[in-house]
């Protein structure tokens, strides 16, 4: 009997539940066909948790998240909760999980599947074979810096404050993740900040440079974040690993995602200290405008599950099986609405799930 794996599923809001339903079918398939023994827990996060418990993550769900091997999260947020205070907003549920589990390293791979080369908004030759890894710092910077808030001034004006702050140890640990990652890839790290205007950016640049001394085989270069955004759409294949802070990582990973054809394709992993819980989630949001219509692309969530298999459960064969099945289905011409191309077959969320399962059947040896 194989080792028992524990997983907490948090579908969240908008398209979260429908994409997660497809990931669940894959988990069941892995149990039935590969003997992987998962204990799956499920709870709410985000607006769904706010509606159920009055806060975006229940104490029970947080406690469970700390016990399990991994969390698989769908998406959070939606206009329904726009008026809610920041500390109770759907997004706060996600930020609490990242912070409480100390998930400081966010891996966001942007890989362009051959079959989707023409779905990108860039010319095919610019994205064909694209394979970038964005390493985003996830528990520091302006997302969490103090002071923060909106205050009333005596002159009747209001003032909004957020603080961008990084310490050496925060920069060092994320830099190590990036250099280690580059060692397993093409051996290049681009570090991105705004050292030309921000002290925190200058510190970032200096400390990343120090960490690089431990990695003589890795080539490091520095790129201002605005220039990096520009280079990502000009010549994206120049990049191997990009390491950057929380806010720039949020922006640059959306840009990188779009190069691959659709945000609906991109998985991510949020990792903490070795051996601790990790969280996996699609890079895209909750897409409330298409929720419940069977239009959502479940691939980013399914590929996030594949990342969990690789990084948490040490099941890289099964991760490859899922990735191979996704590739096969795309090559077979099936597309959800977000990646639809002329001459291809448009399918719903659940038909995409069915097809990936069938491809897994055929690839399973």
H or E segment and range at residue 13: none
Judged by CB under 6 A, the residue of 17, 40, 84, 91 near ligand IPM is 91
Backbone torsions φ then ψ of 99, nearest 5 degrees: -70, -50
Among candidate residues 122, 112, 226, 107, the one with its CA nearest the CA of residue 174: 107
Q: Which distant-in-sequence residues (6+ apart) come within 8 Å of 363 by Cβ?
A: 321, 324, 325, 328
CA 185 to chain centre: 19
In the complex, which residue's CB is closest to Mg ion?
250
CA pair distance 62, 78, nearest whole angstrom: 22
Q: Is 250 in the site for Mg ion (CB under 5 A)?
A: yes
x/- letters, 14..33, toward Mg ion (CB under 5 A): --------------------
In the complex, which residue's CB is closest to ligand IPM?
91
Distances (CA, A) of 124 to 210, 227, 254: 38, 22, 19
- Rounded to a whole number of angstroms, the distance between the first and last alpha carbons of the chain is 19
How many positions of this chain bind ligand IPM (CB under 6 A)? 7
**Residue 137 binds what, of Mg ion, ligand IPM, none (CB under 5 to 8 Å, by partner type)?**
none
Q: Is 180 in the site for ligand IPM (CB under 6 A)?
A: no
x/- letters, 58..87, toward ligand IPM (CB under 6 A): ------------------xx----------
x/- letters, 232..251, toward ligand IPM (CB under 6 A): ------------------x-
x/- letters, 181..220, toward ligand IPM (CB under 6 A): ----------------------------------------
Judged by CB under 6 A, the residue of 30, 94, 132, 305 near ligand IPM is 94
Least distance (Å) from ligand IPM to the CB of residue 54? 20
Structure-block tokens of residue 35? 């003997």
Q: Which distant-in-sequence residues (6+ apart) come within 8 Å of 141 by Cβ?
A: 164, 165, 166, 200, 245, 246, 247
What is residue 34's three-state secondary structure?
helix
Catalytic positions, written as ranges: 143, 194, 226, 250, 254
Q: Please report, as ranges, the residues that interact with Mg ion according to CB under 5 A.
A: 250
Q: Please report, as ranges, the residues that interact with ligand IPM according to CB under 6 A.
A: 76-77, 91, 94, 250, 283, 285
């Amino acid at each position: 009997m194989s080792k028992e794996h524990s997983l907490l599923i948090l579908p969240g809001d908008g398209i979260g539940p429908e994409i997660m339903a497809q990931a669940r079918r894959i988990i069941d398939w892995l149990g039935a066909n590969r003997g992987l023994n998962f204990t799956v827990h499920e709870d709410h996060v985000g607006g769904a948790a706010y509606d159920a418990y009055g806060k975006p993550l229940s104490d029970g769900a947080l406690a469970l998240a700390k016990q399990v091997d991994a969390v698989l999260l769908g998406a959070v947020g939606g206009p329904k909760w726009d008026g809610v205070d920041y500390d109770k907003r759907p997004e706060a549920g996600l930020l609490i999980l990242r912070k409480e589990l100390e998930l400081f390293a966010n891996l966001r791979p942007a890989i362009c599947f051959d079959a989707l080369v023409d779905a990108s908004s860039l010319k095919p030759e610019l994205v064909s074979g694209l394979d970038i890894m964005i390493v985003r710092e996830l528990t520091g910077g302006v997302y969490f810096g103090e002071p923060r808030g909106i205050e009333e001034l005596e002159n009747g004006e209001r003032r909004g404050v957020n603080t961008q702050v990084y310490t050496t140890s925060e920069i060092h640990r994320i830099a190590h993740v990036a250099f280690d990652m580059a060692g397993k890839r093409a051996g290049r790290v681009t570090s991105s900040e705004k050292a030309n205007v921000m002290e925190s950016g200058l510190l970032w640049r200096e400390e990343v440079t120090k960490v690089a001394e431990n990695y003589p085989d890795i080539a490091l270069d520095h790129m201002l974040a605005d220039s990096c955004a520009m280079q990502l759409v000009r010549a994206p294949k120049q990049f191997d690993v990009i390491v950057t802070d929380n806010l720039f990582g949020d922006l640059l990973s959306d840009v990188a995602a779009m190069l691959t054809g659709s945000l609906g394709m991109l998985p991510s992993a949020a990792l903490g200290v070795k051996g601790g819980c990790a969280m996996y989630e699609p890079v895209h949001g909750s897409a409330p405008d298409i929720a419940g219509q069977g239009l959502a692309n479940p691939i980013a969530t399914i590929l996030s599950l594949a990342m969990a298999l690789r990084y948490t459960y040490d099941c890289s064969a099964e991760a490859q099986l899922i990735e191979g099945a996704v590739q096969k289905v795309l090559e077979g011409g099936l597309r959800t609405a977000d990646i639809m191309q002329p001459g291809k077959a448009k399918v719903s969320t659940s038909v995409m799930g069915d097809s990936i399962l069938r491809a897994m059947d055929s690839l399973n040896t």
